Structures are given as C-alpha cells and as structure tokens.
Amino acid sequence: MGKTALIFWGGWNGHEPEKVAKRFRRMLENEGFDVRVVEGAEKLPGYKELAALDLLVPVTTGGKMPGETSKAIAKAVGGGTGIAGCHGGMCDAYREDTEWQFMTGGQWVSHPGGDKVEYTVHIARSSSPLTLGIEDFKVKSEQYYLHVDPSIEVLATTRFPLVSYYHAANKPIDMPVVWTKYWGLGRVYYNSLGHHDDVFDLAPAAQELMRRGFLWAAAGKQAAAAQGLTVDRYLNNAKMY
C-alpha cells in the first residue's frame, strides 16, 4: 500500500499557495503517494484521520488555526505523521500558535531587502542523505531571517547581512535555510525557499531538497517501528499546563 499525504493551503495569496500546493501534489504523486488537498486548516480532518497519514504538508501563510485542530496536528505528528513545508507556508503560519512554532522549529521575523535579493544557499557539511550530491547554489528571492529552535539539525544556511538594515549592526551570521527536527516520533522538515512557485524552477536544487524532505518526513512511522519506539517515552510524567 502506498503512502498517504494531505496538503492544506491558504492564507496570503502573495505566496501563491494554490500553485505551490499543486506543485507539491505532482511531486508527491510522482513518488507514489495517495494525495488529498484541502483549502484551509478548518477543513482538516480530526486526530484519527491525521494520525493515519504518512505526511502532512502545510502551504498557508498567516491565519489562525482552530485550537482543536492545532492539538490534533501536534498529537498526530508526535505519533509519527511527518510534516514538511517551505517558506511562509510553514514557518510564517499561525503566528499566535506557539505550539505550532515549537513543533515546526522556527518562525519568520523579517526578509531584509524584500524580494529579488540574490544570495547563496550553502549546503552544510553533513552525512545526511537529504543533501548528498547537492552543491551550493544561488537564488534570487526573499532571504528569510528566522528565529529558530536550537535543537534543529541545519542542512543549509545563508549568510546575513547582505542588505543594510538594523540587523547589520551585528556580526555576520549564518541563518538556517533547510532543517530537520523531531517531534515525538514525527519527523519535521523545513525549507525557507519558495516565496513564489517559480523559485523551484529557477533553482532546481530547491525542488530536489523539497522532494527529499517529503520522503524523509513521511518515513517516520517506519523508522520508529524498526527501532521499537513508542510515543509514550516522550510523555511520561509530562505536565504541559
């Protein structure tokens, strides 16, 4: 039986969420996924259906997510459903939902210079199969400045500052562009590229990174089962609130 994925899109139209969702659907179907697409988080199913998925793909900027849906997603990912997304569609979404930010590993705060900044994506020195054979590449798009979780595994970075703004008073820093992390048994993948749909045509390496990220995130349940892991180990004695 093939893997299952659910893409949900919406929010700010400037990020071309419908186009990006269609691209991601084609990519996943080419990998043998059974893909369902819905518009808006309010149309997402409940916990049981989310938990049965292999992969969840958000393509929605800003907005507000119903509280019960947010809890259902966090629980489903914790149980092994992967989540993978790009740009504002994942890490500039649901800004008031701190649990979402905790799970996804970061939050957009600025893109100095706006669109059309030319910068280099530096592939991190890593043994990760997610970046094997991919070389540094240039893009001309928004350069995302993010606040990030220190637990992420950084797979690619970009150097700031390139544009004069208040942040330029600080020392140069390498900002994560691509990362992975875990949420319970779930695998989380993020790529800050993708301001517009055509970024993936203009920088084919960006699309290849997304393809690999989808496959990696969707394999979380299998990996956990092979290691005999259960989500209970992360919840023992947990008192969140």
Residue that is written with structure tokens 């900027």 in the block: 61
Residue that is written with structure tokens 């697409």 in the block: 37
The model's pLDDT over 96-125, given as tens digits with 9 standing for 90+, comes to 999 999 999 999 999 999 998 999 999 999
Residue 193's CB is within 10 A of a number of other CB atoms, namely 25
- State residue 121's pLDDT score: 98
Tell which residue, 220, 147, 209, has the closest CA to residue 182. Answer: 220
pLDDT over 90 (residue 162): yes
Strands 82-86 and 55-61: parallel
- State residue 181's pLDDT score: 98
The model's pLDDT over 50-71, given as tens digits with 9 standing for 90+, comes to 999 999 999 999 999 999 999 9
CA dihedral defined by 6, 139, 117, 143, rounded to 10 degrees?
Answer: 40
- State residue 241's pLDDT score: 53
For the chain, domains (ranges, CATH) are 4-235 (3.40.50.880)
Asked whether 59 and 83 are in contact (CB, 8 A), the reply is: no
- State residue 36's pLDDT score: 98
